[in-house]
Amino acid sequence: MPGLSGPSDYSQEPSRHPCLHINAKEPFNAEPPRSALVSSYVTPVELFFKRNHGPIPLVDDIERYCVDINGLIETPKKLYFRDIRMLPKYNVTATLQCAGNRRTAMSITRKVKGVGWNVSAIGNAVWGGAKLADILELIGVPKLTSSTQSGGKHIEFVSIDKCEEENGGPYKASIPLSQATNPEADVLLAYEMNGEPLNRDHGYPLRVIVPGVIGARSVKWLDSINIIAEECQGFFMQKDYKMFPPSVDWGNISWNTRKPQMDFPVQSVICSLEDAQSIKPGKVRSLCIHSFIKVRISGYAVSGGCRGIERVDVSIDGGKTWREATRFQKTGTPYIADGISNDKWAWVLFELTVDIPQSTEIIAKAVDSAANVQPEKVQDIWNLRGILNTSWHRVHVRIGHSNM
């Protein structure tokens, strides 16, 4: 593509923050420490998880960079970067989550295939760009359209990014046309992240943001947009990121029996404590009251499909009893699930301070505004690709012992 190219090797990779935990070096996949996620509502760019399938593309000439819009439409169009920046700009605060977030915990139950993500393949950012609905209207596709006159029902996003799974071809994914043309769905062609131009790891110069949907559909380094009759036939739509039951393994899988995963289910994670955390009473003597130790429990909760978080329940006795945590987005603004002042596509942070008398298991589970609740056991949602592990999040705290 003019102005943008995909390198054939990893010799020109960008620099990254040293605190990131690297899950794969080539291609680069990494996540921040979990504690960093609750240090701020908006995740700093350098601490946002990195999910890549090949070498990071390079911009050769931003003035020549453009996106081709083709397919089942009356008039194909070539949009230059400067054209997109001239359209009305929208800022959308949205959480992106890799479908494989928390895969390592699922793999403990039974081995799965995929990058070994812990709990931080997720982040919340303010994305700036043009609404896809506005862009499609420029080429004659009205807002709130589910089909073009030529039979186009899906929007395919094609990246300049070349990946092994596509036999050296480009990464691609699609969403329904009805979603793309709905201004309330807030699908963006984004060129900013947290008020700054996208960096290379996150899709510079232009990427798609599809709020409320697994991160795999928010295609980076956009090359072209195709209006097509059926959903994208690419690898990551047809032979990956599909949810199968525990009974299906690599010997009996039939990919065409499941639809591509879109919305992500309700999720919550404790970030202030590691999976196995030791607390020594001698170091927190001033917090000890009648042999109890005060512990602050904080984390994130999020649900896909524009569903808010109704509550986050926390147990400090392994699930025998529960208490409700405080939820918030903006400091000083009360959070009400699906409230008009909320960021509807973003996570909530939660916190609760408790008195812990002894070593115990602490659990968090969230309920979204549609009353969906996280499943108790990871075994019940095990799947061969290790996606969508939304089981209760558990951490073990030991009082007066060394780290486990």
Task: Supply the pLDDT for residue 358.
Answer: 87
134: part of which helix (H) or strand (E)? helix 132-138
Question: How far are the Cα atoms of 33, 89, 161, 163, 391 from residue 207, in angstroms, in the given order?
Answer: 25, 14, 11, 17, 31
Q: Under a CB-based contact definition with an 8 Å cutoff, are residues 190 and 197 in contact? A: no
pLDDT, average across residues 3-23: 95
pLDDT at 122 over 90: yes
Per residue in 348-365, pLDDT (tens digit) is 999 999 999 889 999 999
Neighbouring residues of 372: CB distance < 8 A, sequence distance ≥ 6: 265, 266, 303, 307
Dist CA 309 CA 341 (whole Å): 14
Q: Is the peptide bond before 27 cis (omega within 30 degrees of 0)?
A: yes
Q: Under a CB-based contact definition with an 8 Å cutoff, are residues 66 and 3 in contact? A: yes
Task: State whether the Cα torsion 28-379-214-172 is positive or negative.
Answer: positive
Per residue in 152-209, pLDDT (tens digit) is 999 999 999 999 999 999 999 999 999 999 999 999 999 999 999 999 999 999 999 9
Domains and CATH numbers, the chain: 4-239 (3.90.420.10), 267-399 (2.60.40.650)
* Token couple for 201: 């790891």
Dist CA 42 CA 37 (whole Å): 9
Task: Supply the pLDDT for residue 2.
Answer: 73
- DSSP structural state of residue 166: G
Dist CA 190 CA 378 (whole Å): 35
Q: Report the candidate in 164, 153, 170 with the shortest Cα–Cα distance to residue 5.
A: 170
pLDDT at 404 over 50: no
Per residue in 34-45, pLDDT (tens digit) is 999 999 999 999
Task: State whether the Cα torsion 148-151-154-157 is positive or negative.
Answer: negative
pLDDT band at 288 (very low <50, low <70, confident <90, very high): very low
Question: How far are the Cα atoms of 127, 128, 207 from residue 194, in angstroms, in the given order?
Answer: 6, 8, 14
pLDDT band at 279 (very low <50, low <70, confident <90, very high): confident
Query: pTM of this prediction?
Result: 0.95
Task: Supply the pLDDT for residue 47.
Answer: 98
Task: Supply the pLDDT for residue 287.
Answer: 44
Per residue in 371-403, pLDDT (tens digit) is 999 999 999 999 999 999 999 999 999 987 544
Dist CA 189 CA 178 (whole Å): 16
Per residue in 211-270, pLDDT (tens digit) is 999 999 999 999 999 999 999 999 999 999 999 999 999 999 999 999 999 999 999 999
